[in-house]
Amino acid sequence: MKAIQINEYGDESVLNYTDVKRPEPQADEILVKVQAASVNPVDWKIRDGKGEDFGMKLPLILGADFAGTVDEIGSSIKKIKIGDAVYGKILLGCYAEYVIVKADELSLKPETLDFENASSIPMGALTSWQAIFDTAHLKSGQKILIHAASGGVGSMAVQLAKAKGAYVIGTASGKNKDFVKSLGADEFIDYTSTNFEDVVQDIDVVYDTIGGETHERSFQVLKEGGFLVSIVKQPSEKLLNEYKIKGGIIASVPNPKQLEEITELVEKGQIKTEIEKVFPLSEAAKAQKLSKEGHVRGKIILVP
Ligand SMILES: NC(=O)c1ccc[n+]([C@@H]2O[C@H](COP(=O)([O-])OP(=O)(O)OC[C@H]3O[C@@H](n4cnc5c(N)ncnc54)[C@H](OP(=O)(O)O)[C@@H]3O)[C@@H](O)[C@H]2O)c1
């Protein structure tokens, strides 16, 4: 099968579009024919060298989000059938014509979406679910500030928080104002012209998808007892204590039950998708370059 494989860490030039052996499912595994894979920042972070920190062994096939059709199943797989249209989030292997996944790493794809749009959802939606609901315990009526509300993660977070009944404030640059409002955000802050801490306060939950000084400036907008949940940086214990707030960082994990609930929201029209650009798999280098520039609206998709 064709795949994008790396044999060393480095820039886009280490991405090889090459022939590799098609994997065979073990008893508890499912072989999915990938119809679309979305690009996530973690893909190029692993490529740049994070893979080594994560203890990964080269060569690696990148790619964490997939949508496709079940091609083969192992002998102990019960609920999933050959031919089912599925989607999910793993960590590696999706930049390929076929990928091996476990039964608890996928769900049936929303019937209302094609494969490209379906592949744009799992990482962003599962990460946001686990950050804002499981970790920060966002409740109906609470105020949440979502950084990078136009990105792959933030765009899902805005819609999940709205579905929960929260009051949502999203940040991005001005060109994304209409998009973020169309996702349901109650307020929009253009980070290129306004410091969010000058215009918001008494926030219940800040969702930090940016890190750096955005993370540092986020403590001061939270109300006492509020929650700073990050997916990129561990909040400082000292500052959490100083501001009398709670906080933490999460690393998202596959969760088929949550993905089924997300599927329901998609099918009810409460979550929509946004695709910035679709590339053939062979052009993964161009796709990752665009992702790394940091201004994608929604997701970039690769099609094998
Ligand atoms: N811990 C985990 O489990 C986990 C899971 C998923 C992702 N992540 C991490 O979370 C981060 C975000 O991921 P993503 O997929 O959402 O990235 P992304 O889609 O590439 O984010 C791009 C968006 O960020 C916006 N943006 C850039 N700088 C901004 C700023 N200073 N303030 C507000 N918005 C800004 C851009 O809007 P403009 O074009 O308008 O600037 C753009 O729409 C990445 O670092 C990723 O690795 C972690």
- DSSP per residue, 219-254: GGGEEEEEEEEESS-PPPHHHHHHHT-EEEE-----
Q: Ligand 1: does its nearest atom lie under 6 Å from the Cβ of 171?
A: yes
Q: Ligand 1: does its nearest atom lie under 6 Å from the Cβ of 255?
A: no
Band of residue 108 on the pLDDT scale cut at 50, 70, 90? very high
Q: Ligand 1: does its nearest atom lie under 6 Å from the Cβ of 154?
A: yes
Mean of per-residue pLDDT scores for the chain:
98
* Pocket perturbation via mutation, ligand 1, pick of 150, 253, 288 by most ligand atoms within 8 A of CB: 150
102: how many CB neighbours lie within 10 A of its CB? 17
Residue range 2-121+273-303 in CATH 3.90.180.10: yes
pLDDT of residue 48: 98
Quick one: which atom of ligand 1 is closest to the CA of 291?
Answer: 20
- For residues 170 and 146, the answer to whether their CB atoms sit within 8 Å is yes
HSE-up of residue 135 (Cα within 13 Å, Cβ side) = 24
Q: What is the mean pLDDT of residues 266-287?
A: 98
Band of residue 96 on the pLDDT scale cut at 50, 70, 90? very high
Quick one: which atom of ligand 1 is closest to the CA of 298?
Answer: 19
Q: What is the mean pLDDT of residues 298-302?
A: 99
pLDDT of residue 228: 99
The residue contributing the CA closest to ligand 1 atom 2 is 251
pLDDT of residue 88: 98
Name the region of 232 (left: φ>0; alpha: ψ -120 to 50; beta: rest): alpha
pLDDT of residue 294: 98
Band of residue 177 on the pLDDT scale cut at 50, 70, 90? very high
Q: What is the mean pLDDT of residues 79-105?
A: 97
Q: Could you give the percent of the chain with pLDDT greater than 90? A: 100
| Domain positions in the chain | 2-121+273-303, 124-249
pLDDT of residue 207: 99
The fold for domain 124-249 equals: Rossmann fold (3.40.50)
pLDDT of residue 67: 99
Q: What is the mean pLDDT of residues 85-114?
A: 98
In which residue are the tokens 């590799």 written? 20
Band of residue 261 on the pLDDT scale cut at 50, 70, 90? very high
